[in-house]
């Protein structure tokens, strides 16, 4: 079962270790006198998820192809940095690679990324890929330069489902519920449209907040739900498939520009392969989590009927108009075009 992350302790230990070794002074592309070039990759989910496994694949590919000259150090489960401080850590050079969920870019100045949070936008992952792997995705990644960031690619976790301390079948079931959300205005508006109260919390605090009743429910893809042990504190899960959760892999221009060209190429190729691997295991990770949840047997799994799903979709439709201005109407128009291209 899941080991609860202890972010503060881990971070303190790591930072004191770095200081003792004089690593902090080595700059963003840290390299010891004879050791490998270290590339620190921090993320907030468990290793046994599409993101966790893709990060490990990247680590293995880089180790193998650089002959040990470069080392990707992976810090999962918010051991190093969490939702609240990982962007700052990247800017200051305390980490080199992140893969935040797309929902977390709005809060730090990229509201156009919240287009992915629009409820019931995508029917399947092929539609998502048309958006992320074409010109639309490229424009989003290019825009990250506004803050000295470099976008290296997108990949999927998958579709989100709702869980709570009660069955969620009809819109009326959401009334008054406190639901943990990521820090996305679109997701918050979606919960309000359902009559619920959105409570933005870091991912690493979610299970505990559910356990203590600070929030009564949440939404996530099943691999996150299972590996965080949320099923232990959520008696009901509804397979609503109401929204998408994916990631952008980012680094800082500072880190990237100091990397020799050959190493940039090596890292980029390895990353493309790791992303491709992550995308290929999305469905199996989902199926594995669902099978584990069914075997666990103590979380009741509800499958909404088509009519129930349609009424949920109708209830959240006003979010498109309400948040259109903040995302940017042109982004919404263009994502729809890209989906149907």
**Residue 203 interacting with ligand SIN (CB under 6 A):** yes
**How many Å from the N-terminal Cα to the C-terminal Cα in the chain?**
43
- Of 71, 92, 73, 90, the C-alpha closest to 82 is 90
Q: Closest approach of Cβ 206 to ligand SIN, in Å?
A: 7
Residue number with CB closer to ligand SIN (31 or 192): 192
Distance, CA of 215 to chain centre? 20
Q: Closest approach of Cβ 174 to ligand SIN, in Å?
A: 18
Residue number with CB closer to ligand SIN (45 or 189): 45
Q: Closest approach of Cβ 84 to ligand SIN, in Å?
A: 11
Compute the Cα dihedral for 156, 186, 127, 138 and give only its sign. Answer: negative
| Site size for ligand SIN (CB under 6 A) | 9
**Residue 45 interacting with ligand SIN (CB under 6 A):** yes
**Residue 289 interacting with ligand SIN (CB under 6 A):** no
Residue number with CB closer to ligand SIN (70 or 152): 152
Q: Tokens 């907040």 — which residue?
A: 209
**Residue list 89-128, contact with ligand SIN (CB under 6 A):** 101
- Of 218, 170, 160, the C-alpha closest to 191 is 218
Q: Which two structure tokens, joined as six digits, stand for 140? A: 């989003």
**Residue 157 interacting with ligand SIN (CB under 6 A):** yes
DSSP state of 67: T
Rounded CA separation 224/246 (Å): 12
Q: Tokens 């079931």 — which residue?
A: 173
Residues 6+ apart with CB under 8 A from 252: 28, 90, 91, 93, 96, 148, 149, 150
**Residue list 226-285, contact with ligand SIN (CB under 6 A):** 245
**Residue 75 interacting with ligand SIN (CB under 6 A):** no
Q: Which two structure tokens, joined as six digits, stand for 335? A: 């994502």
**Residue 163 interacting with ligand SIN (CB under 6 A):** no
CB atoms closer than 10 angstroms to residue 270: 22
**Residue 187 interacting with ligand SIN (CB under 6 A):** no
Q: Closest approach of Cβ 200 to ligand SIN, in Å?
A: 10
**Residue 44 interacting with ligand SIN (CB under 6 A):** yes
Among 132, 163, 220, 285, binds ligand SIN (CB under 6 A): 220
Q: Closest approach of Cβ 222 to ligand SIN, in Å?
A: 12
- Of 106, 73, 64, the C-alpha closest to 87 is 106
* Nearest position to ligand SIN, beta carbon: 203
Distances in Å between the Cα of 292 and the Cα atoms of 258, 299, 303 are 44, 11, 17
Q: Closest approach of Cβ 27 to ligand SIN, in Å?
A: 27
> Beta 70-75 vs 37-42: how paired, if at all?
parallel
Residue number with CB closer to ligand SIN (30 or 45): 45
**Residue 46 interacting with ligand SIN (CB under 6 A):** no
Per CB under 6 A, residues contacting ligand SIN are: 44-45, 101, 157, 182, 203, 220, 224, 245
């Amino acid at each position: 079962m899941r080991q609860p992350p202890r972010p503060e302790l881990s971070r303190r230990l790591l930072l004191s270790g770095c200081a003792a070794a004089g690593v902090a002074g080595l700059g963003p592309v840290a390299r010891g006198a004879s050791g490998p070039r270290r590339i620190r990759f921090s993320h907030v989910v468990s290793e046994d998820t599409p993101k966790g496994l893709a990060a490990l694949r990247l680590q293995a590919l880089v180790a193998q192809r650089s002959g040990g000259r470069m080392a990707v150090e992976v810090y999962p489960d918010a051991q190093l940095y969490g939702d609240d401080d990982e962007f700052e850590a990247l800017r200051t050079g305390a980490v080199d690679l992140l893969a935040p969920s797309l929902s977390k870019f709005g809060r730090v100045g990229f509201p156009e990324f919240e287009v992915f949070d629009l409820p019931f936008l995508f029917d399947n992952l092929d539609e998502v890929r048309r958006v992320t792997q074409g010109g639309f995705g490229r424009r989003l990644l290019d825009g990250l330069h506004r803050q000295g960031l470099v976008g290296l690619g997108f990949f999927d976790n998958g579709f989100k489902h709702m869980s709570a301390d009660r069955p969620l079948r009809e819109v009326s079931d959401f009334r008054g519920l406190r639901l943990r959300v990521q820090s996305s205005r679109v997701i918050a508006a979606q919960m309000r449209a359902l009559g619920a109260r959105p409570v933005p919390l870091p991912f690493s605090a979610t299970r505990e907040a559910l356990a203590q009743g600070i929030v009564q429910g949440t939404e996530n893809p099943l691999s996150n739900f299972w590996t965080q042990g949320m099923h232990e504190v959520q008696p009901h899960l509804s397979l609503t498939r109401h929204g998408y959760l994916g990631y952008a892999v980012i680094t800082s221009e500072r880190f990237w520009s100091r990397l020799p060209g050959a190493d940039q190429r090596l890292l980029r190729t390895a990353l493309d392969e790791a992303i491709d691997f992550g995308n290929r295991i999305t469905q199996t990770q989902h199926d594995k989590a669902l099978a584990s949840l069914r075997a666990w047997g103590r979380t009741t799994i509800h499958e909404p009927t088509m009519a129930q799903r349609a009424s949920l979709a109708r209830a959240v439709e006003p979010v498109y108009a309400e948040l259109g201005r903040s995302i940017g109407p042109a982004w919404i128009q263009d994502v729809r075009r890209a989906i149907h291209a």
